[in-house]
Structure 1
Amino acid sequence: MYYIVETPKTFDQAAKDLAAAVTSHGFGVLHIHDLGATLRGKGIDFAEDCQVFEVCNPGQAAQMLATDMRLNMALPCRISVFTEKGTTKIGLIKPGPMLSALSDNAELVQVAQAVEEKTIQMVDAAI
């Protein structure tokens, strides 16, 4: 269900490289949630870094929503860059298994599989 890889890069470099990989694979970065900074800003003692990238391919998103509008709650895709005990990691929840739990529409499963392949390529390009 998860795809997580370790990278020897720093957190900042991995985040920068992921942003470039998203664009080069035909997706866009809609927003980056800096969870680590948000938690620390709320007074929480949180030592790790974590940025969640919301990424989207408009054509594929529109296709999914045209078939089943309820899937808006599963969009956009999220890819995270995070640290865990000094190691930088990049990961995602695979869209294929997630969508299979939400819909049995064969067309949507194919779209989810294509998105999964692209998002894994993005992660691999950033490591």
Structure 2
Amino acid sequence: MILAESSKSFQEVVFELEPALQRLGLSVLARHDLGEALARRARGESRAFDEDYLLLDIVGWRAVEELLATDLRAGLALPWRFAVYTEDGATRLGFQPLSPPGGDARLARWVAEVEDKLTQLIDELR
């Protein structure tokens, strides 16, 4: 896992996230507010989930098109997950490194480019 702590609040990171993604040529396919969903689910129970947790499904449309044109099985690695969450008052950012199917050199290069962009995203949001 690639994880980093941000000096910004959770809300600041969420506010800056989409413009930063756009600058990197990436788009949000889906948003999952797990913190809100878990808090809503725990209402009335003694165990409440008190952290913020936003999970994003991210794509780069040009890269996805190239990836699927190369090998349709590679779609199993899509979309890329990116998390913004709080833990003990700290805002954290992270993603799971990707692994290309089949060992194709073009796919490996593509995966490295995507991971570089996600790393740039973390650096920008710190």
- Give me the TM-score of the superposition, normalised by structure 1: 0.88
Alignment of 1:78 with 2:81, yes or no, is: yes
Partners of 1:103 and 1:91 in 2: how far apart?
Answer: 25
Give the gaps of 5 or more residues in structure 1.
none
State the shift of 1:68 in Å.
2.0
Partners of 1:111 and 1:26 in 2: how far apart?
Answer: 14
Structure 1 or 2, whichever has the larger Rg, is: 2
Deviates more, 1:37-46 or 1:115-124: 37-46
Alignment of 1:5 with 2:8, yes or no, is: no
Q: Tell me which amino acid in the other structure corresponds to 2:110.
A: V
Partners of 2:94 and 2:85 in 1: how far apart?
Answer: 8
Give the gaps of 5 or more residues in structure 2.
none
Partners of 2:86 and 2:14 in 1: how far apart?
Answer: 11
State the shift of 1:36 in Å.
0.6
Alignment partner, residue 110 of structure 1: 109
Identity %: 31
Query: How many residues were matched structurally?
Result: 122
Alignment of 1:1-127 (within 5 A): 2-43=1-42, 45-95=48-98, 98-99=99-100, 102-127=101-126
- Give me the TM-score of the superposition, normalised by structure 2: 0.89
